[in-house]
Homo-oligomer: A and B are copies of this chain.
Amino acid sequence: NETAKAALGRATWKLLHTVTLRFPENPTPDEREALDSYIRLTSRVYPCGECAAELQELLKVYPPQTSSRRAASLWLCSLHNQVNERLNKPEYDCSQLSTEYDCGC
């Protein structure tokens, strides 16, 4: 069921991008560790097995960047673009990020 898989992917990207765009500008070591673990655990519990495996491979080559909000959000944008490329989707322009992922919080 490709429709369900796509809907789950959209929900997940939305959450992840919003998380990184609300990540502290100047995170503490503890906050950095929390985001790093959260992303790595996402790749373990993610319910689409093929997607989880791809994310694990990507994380080996592109480990999470957590030094700042900007570093984290641009890192995730670029990771998402790697997935887009593999799925023959257009590359997203990462300079638009902050306008698209308002979380209303």
Q: How far is the CA of A67 from the CA of B104 in the complex (A)?
A: 35
Number of copies: 2
The 0/1 profile, CB within 8 Å of B marked 1, for residues 85-105 of chain A is 000000000000000001111
Q: Which A30-56 residues sit within 8 Å CB-CB of chain B? A: 34-35, 37-38, 41-42, 44-51
- A4 and B48 in contact, given A15-B11, A41-B38 (Cβ under 8 angstroms): no
Classify chain A: how many residues form its interface, as a range. 35 or more
Sample of 17 A–B contacts (CB below 8 Å): A2-B104, A4-B104, A5-B104, A6-B104, A7-B14, A8-B103, A11-B14, A11-B15, A19-B47, A34-B41, A34-B44, A35-B45, A38-B38, A38-B41, A38-B42, A38-B44, A48-B103
